[in-house]
Amino acid sequence: MMKELIIFDLDGTLINTDTLYTLGWKTILKGYCVELPESTLAQMNGQSTEKNNEIVNSYLNSWERTLEARNKREAFVRDAMDMGLLLMKPGAQELLDELKSEGRRMALATSSPSNRAKEQLAKLGLEHYFEFIIYGDEVSEKKPAPEIYTTVLEQLAVAPENTVAIEDTRSGVLSALAAGLEVYLVTDRDTTEFADNPNVHILKSLTDIER
């Protein structure tokens, strides 16, 4: 991973919020007598708030109920954080520390809105690792559009070929690829779509990333 710049995704890549979000939706939607298919819950990982609200609304058929469920889901995640359930993904802390000690340039590109992501970063003390951070509400087109990545490249004046992204979802990988980046896809979900793509390196854990 000898690139000038390393851009990390946040949810599901560095921290376990993907698990908390999924559990939150399962728990809250039971109160509406709705059980989302596992494939739909997996699809929601890495999507924007707006896109996921559309998915939930397709089951609840009411924007009022959808926004109510969204607020309850957000409260569920905040409560989980207060209980100490917000955790780093395996190998994440060690990877960040190692790259920081080597003086490597790092940025963060997350689809999460700034208010939520800033709270999570502060909770785990992660802000200082990154030279630049961009949030989902700071771009007009969310992942899988490339805007969030191209904005980082422009801000830090680094060429795509000198940059690598670390992602955990399909939408994140598509976003990074569209921006011209090499990608490490760290996931235990199905990766068939990217199996033959030479610009996508598929791994099970951050501990598997070659330094």
**Looking at the annotation, which residues are catalytic?**
9
Distance CA 157, CA 40 (A): 37
Distance CA 159, CA 2 (A): 14
Distance CA 65, CA 56 (A): 9
3-state secondary structure of 133: strand
The alpha carbon dihedral of 94, 129, 83, 18 has a sign of negative
Distance CA 210, CA 184 (A): 10
3-state secondary structure of 19: helix
Instruction: Extract the tokens encoding 117.
Output: 């992501």
Contacts of 20 (CB under 8 A, 6+ apart): 76, 77, 80, 81, 85, 86
Instruction: Extract the tokens encoding 149.
Output: 């990545």
Instruction: Extract the tokens encoding 127.
Output: 């802000």
**Which residue type sits at 67?**
L
